[in-house]
Amino acid sequence: MKAIIPAAGQGTRLYPQTHTKPKAMVRLAGRPILGHILQNIAKTRIDEVVVVVGGPMKGQIVQYAKQEFSDRFELTFVEQETADGLGHSIYQTESVARGDELLIALGDMLFENGFDKFLEAHDSLSDTDGSIGVKRVEEPSHYGVVETDETGEILQLVEKPDDPPSDFAISGVYIVNDSDSLFDALGNLVENDIRGAGDEYQLTDALQGMIETDRSLHIFEVEEWYDCGRPDTLLEANRVLLGRTDSYAGDDLDSSVIIPPVDLGDDVQIESSVVGPNVSVDDGTVIRQSIVSDTIVGQDATLRGVNIDESIVGGNAEVFGEANHLNVGDNSSINL
């Protein structure tokens, strides 16, 4: 089995953080989003991973994945040259993934339960060509939605419908046994320019095409998931992941109070400050005379004399003075 991680998205909802890094490389709880995904896949039986990259900053993803995970996975990188949707992204992997069993894990989604649990749920299904992780939600029209029969077999999939056929939202994890049929369906969309929601080639439409050619797809339910493509849910995911540990490390914690859970990178200096709870601080950052909580701080940033909460501060940013809520991009300088 191979894992496919589509990580070519531009990440516009995370501006200004994604002006200088791909969405998958935004850091929370000690590592980039991509690192959390790969770490969770590493706990499964999967040993081959295909990462779809794109755009001028794709090299950051390639370098990170090779540096941190080449000893665990056989890594392949495929480029998506145009941003034409999730279905188009997956279609780019045909030459290296057709014929294999696949786990597709979106590059901006983190899950409360791990991929090993999803594979166990999939393996418990009988006579299926694939399965999709779903969760009941209050506003299904904001998501891809599935309609099932009483056995959990999928009858219909539709992307962001005005009149949802159910409250089962597609969560962003897919397991496909019959990848030949999947790539046939994706090829039909792309080659015939059949675009769906957002004027893009949708993976949901390809899965619906599999059903219409008599393939059997089922669901398994997931617990909470976090769409890390938005600032509020990125911070929520940071809180959840940090909540699994109460440890921290730092080179200089002079006259300061650390309130766990906090993750501090290497060479972090904290002086006369209160940091935590739920704070992730990257390498080389300096925090002085500040109060910082529920915040993600990038590499080599400087905070001085600030009081910030529920904020994201990019790498090499400098923030001085009073503040409450910030979303500061890399290499910024703010004097409040």
User: Treating both helix axes as pointing N-terminal to C-terminal, what angle do 33-41 and 115-123 enclose, rounded to 10 degrees?
Assistant: 40
User: Do 191 and 70 have their domain in common?
Assistant: yes
Residue 113: closest CA among 222, 239, 28? 222
Q: For residue 316, give the DSSP letter.
A: T
The DSSP result for 85-112, as a single string, is -HHHHHHTTHHHHTTS-EEEE-TTEEES
Mean pLDDT calculated for residue range 235-263: 80
SS3 215: coil
- Burial class of residue 79, CB neighbours in 10 A (0-12, 13-18, 19+): exposed
pLDDT of residue 252: 52
CATH number at residue 307: 2.160.10.10
User: Do 194 and 254 have their domain in common?
Assistant: no
Question: What are 288's strand-pairing partners?
Answer: 271, 304
User: Do 125 and 258 have their domain in common?
Assistant: no
User: Do 265 and 233 have their domain in common?
Assistant: no
The C-alpha atoms of residue 132 and residue 207 are separated, in whole angstroms, by 10
User: Do 223 and 254 have their domain in common?
Assistant: no
Could you give the percent of the chain with pLDDT greater than 70?
Answer: 93
**Is-contact 140 160, C-beta < 8 A?**
no
| Distances in whole angstroms, Cα of residue 45 to Cα of each of 48, 56, 142 | 9, 32, 33
Domain finish residue from 212, 238, 264: 238
Domain finish residue from 238, 259, 287: 238
Residue 240: closest CA among 108, 113, 325? 113
User: Do 179 and 303 have their domain in common?
Assistant: no
CATH number at residue 34: 3.90.550.10
**Is-contact 115 131, C-beta < 8 A?**
no
Domain finish residue from 205, 238, 271: 238
Residue 260, domain extent: 247-335
User: Do 137 and 261 have their domain in common?
Assistant: no
Mean pLDDT calculated for residue range 50-66: 97
User: Do 119 and 169 have their domain in common?
Assistant: yes
**Domains of the chain: total:** 2
pLDDT of residue 244: 80
User: Do 77 and 224 have their domain in common?
Assistant: yes
User: Do 296 and 224 have their domain in common?
Assistant: no
Phi, psi dihedral angles at 232 (to 5 degrees): -65, -40
Extract the tokens encoding 254: 């002079």
Which pTM does this prediction carry? 0.91
User: Do 111 and 257 have their domain in common?
Assistant: no
For the cut 70, the answer to whether the pLDDT of residue 331 exceeds it is: no
For the cut 80, the answer to whether the pLDDT of residue 101 exceeds it is: yes
pLDDT of residue 142: 85
Highest mean pLDDT out of 10-14, 18-22, 50-54, 311-315: 50-54
User: Do 167 and 50 have their domain in common?
Assistant: yes
Mean pLDDT calculated for residue range 175-195: 97
- H helices within the chain, ranges in order? 33-41, 58-69, 86-91, 94-97, 115-123, 179-191, 203-212, 231-242
pLDDT of residue 11: 84
**Is-contact 166 158, C-beta < 8 A?**
no
pLDDT of residue 44: 97
Task: Tell me what the pLDDT averaged over the chain comes to.
Answer: 91
